[in-house]
Chain A
Amino acid sequence: MAKVRMRINGRVRTLGVEPQVSLLDALRERLDLTGTKKGCNQGACGACTVLVDGERICSCLALAVQYEGREITTIEGVAETDLAHPLQSAFIRHDGFQCGYCTSGQICSAIGMLAEHAVGAPSAVTEHLGSVPELTDDEIRERMSGNLCRCGAYNGIVDAIKEVAKL
């Protein structure tokens, strides 16, 4: 059993975990932060996306012990005040979900994606790598391709992200 200390949603948490426990299972089963979802458990669906030091990752492929001392943000911690995060409101306004299972991952992923875009990171559909691309529908779809939505709410998801990107 390893003792792991992490800052989760602004609060320092210490927990004892076996080395094989994933960050996803630690969040859900040990810390009762069940907003982060387990979909495929193999990095293919993005439902488990959380932010580590502001960068989006798949928490199912992360061993909790490896993230000692890091700053983790889950869907429970994305709102800065009692109000929803702008992306949460936009997802509601644009019907960016149906069953809601992928939504936590979609929103955490979108937050990370917008931060990547803000520092000028290119994507696979960026025509010229030298210039900072605008967030077109194609750019958003490519950058969000690691998050699957089996209800097919993609059009609403793209609209919601586009609205927030313009803020």
Chain B
Amino acid sequence: MRPFTYLRVLDVATAVDAIATHPRARFLGGGTNLVDLMRENIERPDMVVDISRLPLIDVDELPNGGVRIGALVRNSHLAAHPLIRTRYPVLSQALLTGASGQLRNMATVGGNLLQRTRCPYFYDTTARCNKREPGAGCDALEGFNRSTAVLGTSDNCIATHPSDMCVALAALDALIEVQSVRGVRRIPFTEFHQLPRDTPQLETQLAEDELITAVELPPLPVAANSRYRKVRDRASYAFALVSVAAALDIDHDTVKDVRIALGGVGVKPWRAYETERLLSGAPANDESFRRAADAELAQAVGRSGNHFKIELARRTVVATLRQLRDTGGAA
């Protein structure tokens, strides 16, 4: 690992000040992604600003019935929190299917939002990757691309967004609060991550001098009946081939309210707006579920190794909605 300067900060003002004055610095939270990338020489910061002791570790109920989650809450603590388990079970489940017990104890919510892709060509510094080295080209397009995305891709990048937590947050209409020396702003979750287009190195709306301070969940009654279903090569401790975060409210066999997002298939956590639009007010039967899944996946582009994901996503969407309808959510 390249040597760097280490700075521990204890308050948010000092943290954002440090990043504003050191453009080649990186914030260090749990370290589960950044330390690995630094060891692989993919991240090469001159300075590491350790934010892990900032007082952003609370999960609080908001006056409107929503929940505010500090950016440094550990993944395991958030998954086990009673408010999340009962009101947003899809989020608990998504967190619990990610990584391992040890890593969930380290990884933070803010860090999870900024998790980098696990595309093998992004990690392989001898390969071409537009995300790692803008303009270099993309070896995944014609290469070993079984794990790559089918939604939102461009000719420059087909890397999958790896997070499970983010898929649940995309479905839950979350807001991200960020802070810099210029002030505080809030970003709707589905606008936070960007499509790769011609600039796959730019993954989020976050400016270089901004710190994620919190994630807010709105009050969302439909989320009480929600679950996360993850399909992968082995039963545990693996990234998703396909995942579905869904919340469903049915009244007299008709879909009253629905939220749905897909993981493992998108270049960003993929909110399935088309599926939601078709389901809203539709009969809660398998035929509607299939049609709604197809509507979202019509825009999917498969490649040599990952074409199977389109059919797998379709079936997983239908299976998850059916499960919510017949046996209910995970709460």
- Contact sample, A vs B, 19 pairs, CB 8 Å cutoff: A19-B4, A22-B35, A41-B39, A42-B36, A49-B102, A56-B105, A57-B106, A58-B103, A61-B103, A61-B106, A63-B28, A66-B31, A112-B105, A116-B101, A123-B96, A129-B331, A130-B86, A145-B101, A145-B235
Identify A146's interface contact among B48, B52, B103, CB under 8 A. Answer: B103
Interface-central residue, B5, B6, B97, by most chain A CB under 10 Å: B6
Query: Assuming A116-B76, A124-B93, A128-B330, is B101 touching A143 (CB within 8 A)?
Result: yes
| Chain B residues within 8 Å of A127, by CB | 330
Cβ < 8 Å to A, chain B residues 19-77: 28, 31-32, 35-36, 38-39, 48, 50, 52, 76
A137 at the interface (CB under 8 A from B): no
A153 at the interface (CB under 8 A from B): no
How many chain A residues have a CB neighbour from B under 8 Å? 42
B308 at the interface (CB under 8 A from A): no
Closest partner residue, chain B, to A55 (CB atom): B105
Min CB distance B64 to A, Å, is 23
Identify A19's interface contact among B48, B89, B96, CB under 8 A. Answer: B48
Identify A122's interface contact among B4, B31, B80, CB under 8 A. Answer: B80
**Would B331 and A130 count as touching, CB distance under 8 A?**
yes
Interface string of A6-34 (1 = CB under 8 A from B): 00000000000011101000000000000
Identify A112's interface contact among B1, B6, B85, B101, CB under 8 A. Answer: B101
**Would A146 and B106 count as touching, CB distance under 8 A?**
no
How many chain B residues have a CB neighbour from A under 8 Å? 39
**Would B36 and A121 count as touching, CB distance under 8 A?**
no
Query: Assuming A19-B48, A129-B330, A141-B236, is B102 touching A57 (CB within 8 A)?
Result: yes
A142 and B105 alpha carbons, distance in the complex (Å): 15
B183 at the interface (CB under 8 A from A): no
A39 and B102 alpha carbons, distance in the complex (Å): 15
A19 and B28 alpha carbons, distance in the complex (Å): 12
| Chain A residues within 8 Å of B39, by CB | 41-42
Given contacts A116-B76, A144-B101, A146-B237, 7 further A-B contacts (CB under 8 A): A19-B3, A42-B36, A58-B106, A116-B80, A122-B92, A143-B101, A146-B99
Interface string of A91-128 (1 = CB under 8 A from B): 00000000000000000010011001001111110111
**Would A146 and B3 count as touching, CB distance under 8 A?**
no
